[in-house]
């Protein structure tokens, strides 16, 4: 990932009322092709209306920083400034992004990183010169989604498309405000679906597109040729920070599920199944009629999975008829449901297809263990519940990082929550006690860290 810049960008849209949160989903799915050679192909009639559902978002954040006198770094001039104290200075940090109107009464979905920490959020509507100050309704950092609200009625709300029906090759349009250029629309196709492991957020199930997505598109909409929302423009993969044809969008179904909870309760609580899982190799798939899915490697006591009768060795292939082809797909799918949701899980056991009705639990019921602190890191043992929650395979042993001080050296070298320290110098680590013992000296240490299937080393 060296020299690669991940530029965060996002979008979304829904339609509902505060008391009864419902989304306006498209029902028809007809693909038509022109037969007249003189026919001029245009999407103006589709995009003319939907562009009113995409807004410009500008934020202001007051930040305080030390005023550094450049002469203080010079040993000669330092003598003249003895007793001098740096006085903190305040400055206003501004940023631009996009958002999508999801209800007629002023609810807008955008990216969490667009509005996170903002002291003031201002929304500009298409065709309206007035600026509207917005309030933050709720946010979900793990998907990078947030909902804001403005005091305005009779807005044009976007309609949703079932993102499970999106196919590679579908024509799509990215709507937003790249580089502050309002009402910009770019065209492309769906390059892939179900992309995960990109490393942008914890829950990834991206739609990949080659439609141009640039800075400022964050929170903007990915629309299909019918004018319905299929995803939230999320990120681009680029060396320069500009578009190179590899963009990612959060699927509309994930957006809808998260936004509903944010509107109702101001926060998103994820569902919990209670299994340890891993992917299936080609050889392993032969034991499951050449199927792929999420292989259950462990079931925790007292969890919804145990109550439903799931066992180690089961291969989960579908949840509510949505096909599951990997462990990350199961994690993302379960993660979009609210606690206490009842789902039907299909799985293979001894090459026979079985079903189980499961009432999902809540991630908030998973109690955290005791933690230790080390140079800006907060760490804890990987207990069964943590392993299940983070979908870590049984082979991964170490201490899990649950929090990183953003001002610490650990943060500056890229250590993230969810990373697992598996080794300190030449000592493999399995728990916090061993970690403390291995780091008790004050000298710098080599830490070997596991992250999403790979291992890298840092000095801390």
CA distance 260 to 22: 8
Q: Are 251 and 205 within 8 A, CB to CB? A: yes
Which amino acids are annotated catalytic? 113, 144, 218
Residues 6+ positions from 160 with CB-CB distance below 8 Å:
13, 14, 15, 23, 24, 25, 26, 228, 229, 252, 256
Structure tokens given for 436? 């403390």
> Of 226, 6, 13, which Cα lies nearest the Cα of 107?
13
Give the per-residue pLDDT at 167: 94
**pLDDT reported for residue 442:** 72
pLDDT, residue 131, reads: 92
Q: Could you tell me the residue ranges of all domains in the chain?
A: 1-265, 271-364, 367-459
Reply yes or no on domain 271-364 having CATH 2.20.28.120.
no
pLDDT at 6: 46
What does the pLDDT read at residue 28? 66
226 within 8 A of 161, measured Cβ to Cβ? yes
Does residue 4 have a pLDDT over 50?
no
- Which residues in 290-419 belong to E strands, given as ranges? 294-299, 315-319, 322-323, 342-349, 352-359, 361-362, 371-374, 377-381, 399-404
- Region 433-450: mean pLDDT is 86
Q: Which region holds residue 11: left if phi is over 0, alpha if psi is between -120 and 50, else beta?
A: beta
Q: Please give the pLDDT value at position 11.
A: 39
pLDDT tens string 280-336: 888 899 999 999 999 998 888 888 999 999 999 999 999 999 899 888 889 888 988
Write down the pTM of the prediction.
0.68
pLDDT digits (tens, 9 = 90+) for 63-102: 655 555 555 555 555 555 555 555 555 666 777 889 999 9
**Length reported for the chain:** 460
Kindly calculate the radius of gyration of the chain based on its CA atoms and give it in whole angstroms: 24
Give the Cα separation of 103 and 101 in Å (integer): 6
Has residue 389 got a pLDDT over 80? no
CATH number attached to the domain at 367-459: 2.30.42.60
Per-residue pLDDT of 255-282, as tens digits, reads: 998 999 999 989 888 888 988 888 888 8
**Distance separating alpha carbons of residues 235 and 144, to the nearest angstrom:** 11
Mean pLDDT of the chain: 82
Strand partners, 120: 60
pLDDT number for residue 382: 85
Tokens representing residue 306 in the block: 């145990």
Q: What CA–CA distance (Å, rounded) separates 43 from 280?
A: 43
> Mind giving me the DSSP string for 177-241?
-GGG-SSEEEEEEEEEEEE---SSSSS--EEEE-S---TT-TT-EEEETTS-EEEEEEEEEESSS
Instruction: Write the pLDDT tens digit of every residue in 168-216.
Output: 999 999 998 877 777 789 999 999 998 877 777 778 888 999 888 877 8
pLDDT at 77: 53
Left if phi > 0, otherwise alpha if psi is -120 to 50, otherwise beta: which for 390? alpha
Q: How far is CA 36 from CA 33, 92, 303, in A?
A: 9, 56, 60
At 103-124, the pLDDT tens digits run: 999 999 998 888 888 889 999 9
Q: Is the pLDDT of residue 46 over 90?
A: no
450, 436 in Cβ contact below 8 A? no
Answer for the pair 136, 148: CB distance below 8 angstroms, yes or no.
yes
What is the rounded CA–CA span in Å between residue 118 and residue 115?
Answer: 5
Q: What is the pLDDT of residues 329-378, one digit of tens each?
A: 898 889 888 889 999 999 999 999 999 999 998 877 655 556 788 888 98
Please indicate whether residue 386 or residue 129 has the higher confidence score (pLDDT): 129
Buried residues in 177-214 as b, exposed as e (16+ CB within 10 A): bbeeebebbbbbebbebbbbebebbbbbbbbbbbbbbb
1-265 shares its CATH topology with 271-364? no
* Distance between CA atoms of residues 10 and 112, nearest Å: 9
Are 216 and 181 a contacting pair, CB within 8 Å?
yes
Position with higher pLDDT, 26 vs 404:
404
Which of 65, 122, 120, 121 is CA-nearest to residue 91? 65
The CATH architecture to which 1-265 belongs is: Beta Barrel (2.40)
């Amino acid at each position: 990932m060296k020299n690669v810049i991940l530029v965060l960008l996002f979008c979304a849209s829904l339609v509902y009322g505060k008391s009864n949160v419902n989304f306006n989903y498209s029902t028809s799915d007809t693909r038509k092709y022109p037969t007249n050679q003189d026919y001029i192909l245009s999407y103006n009639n589709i995009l003319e209306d939907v562009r009113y559902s995409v807004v410009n978002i500008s934020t202001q954040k007051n930040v305080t920083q030390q005023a550094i006198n450049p002469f203080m770094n010079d040993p000669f001039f330092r003598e003249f400034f003895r007793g001098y104290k740096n006085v903190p200075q305040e400055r206003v940090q501004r940023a631009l992004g996009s958002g999508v109107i999801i209800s007629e009464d002023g609810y807008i979905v955008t990216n969490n990183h667009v509005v996170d920490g903002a002291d003031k959020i201002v929304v500009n509507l298409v065709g309206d010169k007035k600026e509207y100050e917005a309030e933050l309704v709720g946010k979900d950092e793990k998907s990078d989604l947030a909902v804001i609200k403005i005091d305005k009625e009779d807005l044009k709300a976007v309609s949703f498309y079932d993102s499970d029906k999106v196919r590679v090759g579908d024509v799509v349009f990215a709507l937003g405000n790249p580089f502050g250029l309002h009402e910009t629309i770019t065209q492309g196709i769906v390059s892939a679906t179900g992309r995960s492991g990109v490393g942008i957020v914890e829950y990834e199930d991206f739609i990949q597109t080659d439609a141009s997505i640039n800075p400022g598109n964050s929170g903007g909409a990915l629309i299909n040729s019918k004018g319905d929302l299929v995803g939230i423009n999320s990120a681009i993969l680029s060396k320069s920070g500009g578009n190179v044809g590899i963009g990612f969008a959060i699927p509309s179904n994930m957006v809808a599920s998260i936004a509903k909870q944010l509107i109702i309760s101001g926060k998103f609580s994820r569902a919990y199944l209670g299994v340890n899982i891993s992917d299936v190799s080609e050889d392993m798939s032969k034991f499951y009629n050449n199927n792929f899915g999420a292989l259950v490697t462990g079931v925790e006591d007292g969890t919804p999975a145990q109550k439903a009768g799931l066992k180690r060795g089961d291969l989960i292939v579908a949840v509510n008829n949505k096909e599951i082809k990997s462990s990350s797909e199961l994690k993302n799918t379960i993660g979009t449901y609210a606690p206490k949701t009842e789902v039907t899980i299909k799985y293979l056991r001894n090459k026979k297809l079985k079903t189980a009705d499961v009432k999902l639990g809540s991630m908030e019921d998973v109690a955290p263990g005791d933690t230790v602190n080390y140079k800006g890191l907060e760490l804890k043992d990987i207990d069964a519940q943590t392993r299940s929650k983070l979908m870590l395979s049984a082979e991964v042993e170490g201490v899990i990082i649950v929090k990183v001080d953003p001002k610490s050296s650990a943060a500056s070298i890229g250590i993230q929550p969810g990373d697992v320290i598996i080794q300190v110098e030449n000592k493999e680590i399995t728990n916090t006690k061993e970690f403390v013992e291995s780091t008790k000296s004050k000298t710098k240490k080599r830490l070997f860290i596991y992250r999403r299937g790979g291992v890298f080393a840092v000095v801390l």
